Amino acid sequence: MAEKSLMKGNEALAEAALRAGCKCFFGYPITPQTEIAAYLSKRMPKVGGVFLQAESEVAAINMVYGCAGSGIRCMTSSSSPGISLKSEGISYIAGADLPCVIIDVMRGGPGLGGIQPSQADYYQITKGVGHGDYNIIVLAPSTVQEMADCVTKAFDLADKYRMPAVVLADGLLGQMMEPVAFDDAEIVMSDASNKPWAANGHKNARKHNIINSLYLQAPELERTIKERYERYAEIEKNEPVGVADYCDDADIVVVAYGSTARLAKSAVDEARKQGIKAGVFRPVTLYPFPKNELNAAVKNAKKVLVVEMSMGQMVDDVKLAINCSKPVDFFGRTGGVIPAPAEILAKIKEMGGNN
Amino acid sequence: MRYGRLTVVTGHYGSGKTNLSVNLAVDIAAAGEKCTVIDLDIVNPYFRTADFGKLFGDRGIALYAPVYANTNLDIPSLNIPLESILSDGGCVIIDVGGDDEGAKALGRFAPLINGYADRDMLYVINRYRYLTKEPAEAVQVMREIEWSCGIAHTGIVNNSSLGAETTADTVRDSLAFAEETAKLAGLPLRATCAIEGAMPADAPEPYVIKRHVKNLWEE
């Protein structure tokens, strides 16, 4: 590992993308993720990559569609309202089985909402974003270092399963500064090698490849979708990740992801100091949701508490994952308000967590 | 550390300008001096001087910030009566947004600032920040800031840190970088900043700073 740098979450996302060989970035500025574009506008030309500020979010995602079709690693980033604009393109990319990485640094919604941190895009992102039968991979980091690591992983998983992968962060993670380390490896820009499906020009050396999401016959479309769902089953078997802290003997397990997981961890640390048996479980992959890992974490718990910066969008996924085997309660703040560890601790106590 | 009655704090994005500004203001107020802080950051959406309203209020430090700072309105509207602030006496600290983009907002005040005798414009450096790890890069950003605002720097402040992971070794490993940057810029090194316990014994012009506001998850 090289010497550490002090970086903003957004900068770490951007640098990690370069280091994953992301050759093309297409974006459009929006708070609180504009540093990603600002950073790449400075760095991309120095490493032989392309930085392009598109005329809109819709244009940017369609540039990603075209670029991904040529087999080159590419990325776009935005924040909540901008992701809504990209949703059509994401559906087309999934329908054409193309790998790419999309960053969503969430802010308050609905509508223009606000620029403060939020997790209210959970439904939107984990349920596929656009129209049609499909899933996308969703990774939820909770530190600046993990922001970087998740970008690398997102590119690898996107290529492996030929589908879009999203790194779902929030404004707090995007704007906070923490030390981060990257390995010393030289930056190598991606090309279409190992991607026999890529439409990248072949001088009649092979049969041409077609990138498309339109199928003229219904049975043909159904067969394509079913093949895709076989891949999703593989992903759900192989790729879930969740991190459990103090869950083995916990009476109350708090489930939270992203920056909220850090606030929950602070509350649980304080609860433990006060003799309250609380634990925290953090899903790192939101699709695939870490069902087995969550079940193991709550095995000995009496109750589960979901904490989010939303009105409780993850609650149903938690209930389904544990088959409603324990009571699931919720605490959250929304609209850009960040839940305080003291508020989470008060909720743990209200649920009967006492010493 | 030595600074003027009017001190402008600039630097690369994320170099720790706000933390330095807050520390200076608190120290000035603690010495019984009148102090005004101007948050001129039109770049950062969060984590800015305007966050320190309560800390300043408790210490009688006056704060001027962009009209819509810390609201959901992403508009850098500035309404800063600098002339009357300067004529009111006391010390004035201007916390500028990062890089040349942030310094643009300072440009409109250049005639006033350049005409004020007892002034300093301090360039804050952090060798652990990406894109300014080499002295030449740090000086390049400094020149870009000067071109952008039309005001020349008068000193360098070494604020090298790795956030919560900062130790005396972190700061010690930045001393040569700071010395080289100051030499290349042709400016005096005004201070070496470090939190308590992380100041190397041989640091030139030591200035011990505090983290006045904790992260949300540390509360």
Q: What is the pLDDT of residues B91-119, one digit of tens each?
A: 999 999 998 989 999 999 999 999 999 99
| Nearest CB to B14 within list A6, A265, A338 | A6
On whether any CB of chain A is under 8 Å from the CB of B126, the answer is yes
Structural domains in chain B plus CATH codes: 6-211 (3.40.50.300)
* Residue from A4, A5, A6 whose CB has the most chain B CBs within 10 Å, to mutate: A6
| Alpha carbons B3 and B21: distance in angstroms, whole number | 12
CB atoms within 10 A of CB A274: 13
Sign, CA torsion A307/A312/A318/A323: positive
Kindly determine whether residue B44 and residue A175, on different chains, have CB atoms separated by under 8 Å.
yes
pLDDT score for B213: 74
- Answer whether A116 sits within 8 Å of B129, measured CB to CB: no
Judge whether A5-199+228-236 and A243-350 match in fold: yes
The mean pLDDT of A33-39, rounded to a whole number, is 95
**Residue carrying the six token digits 């802080």:** B37
| CA B104 to chain CA mean position, Å | 16
| Residue range A40-74, pLDDT digits in tens | 999 999 999 999 999 999 999 999 999 999 999 99
Its sign, for the CA torsion B33, B89, B44, B153, is negative
A220-254: b (≥16 Cβ within 10 Å) or e: ebeeeeeebeeebeebbeebbebbbbbbeebbbbb
At residue A355, the pLDDT reads: 57
Residue A318 has pLDDT above 70, yes or no: yes
Task: Note the CATH number of domain A243-350.
Answer: 3.40.50.920
Topology of domain A5-199+228-236 in CATH is Rossmann fold (3.40.50)
Closest by Cα among B85, B159, B94, B90 to B128: B159
pLDDT digits 0-9 by tens, A105-147: 999 999 999 999 999 999 999 997 899 999 999 999 999 999 9
Distance between CA atoms of B85 and B212, rounded to whole angstroms?
Answer: 25
Residue B18 per-residue DSSP state: H
In the predicted model, what is the mean pLDDT of chain A?
A: 96
Given CB atoms, is B213 within the 8 Å cutoff of chain A?
no
Say whether A11 and B74 touch across the interface (CB within 8 A).
no
**Is A8 in Cβ contact with B14 (below 8 Å)?**
yes
Sign of CA dihedral A88, A90, A91, A92: positive
Task: Output the pLDDT for position A354.
Answer: 65
pLDDT in tens, A250-280: 999 999 999 999 999 999 999 999 999 999 9
For chain A, the domains span 5-199+228-236, 243-350
pLDDT for res A258: 98
Q: Which residue has the higher pLDDT, A242 or B72?
A: A242
Confidence of residue B219 (pLDDT cuts 50, 70, 90): low
Residue of A nearest to B45 (CA): A32
Backbone angles phi, psi at B120, to 5 degrees: -135, 145
Q: Is residue A53 within 8 Å of residue A28, measured between CB atoms?
A: yes
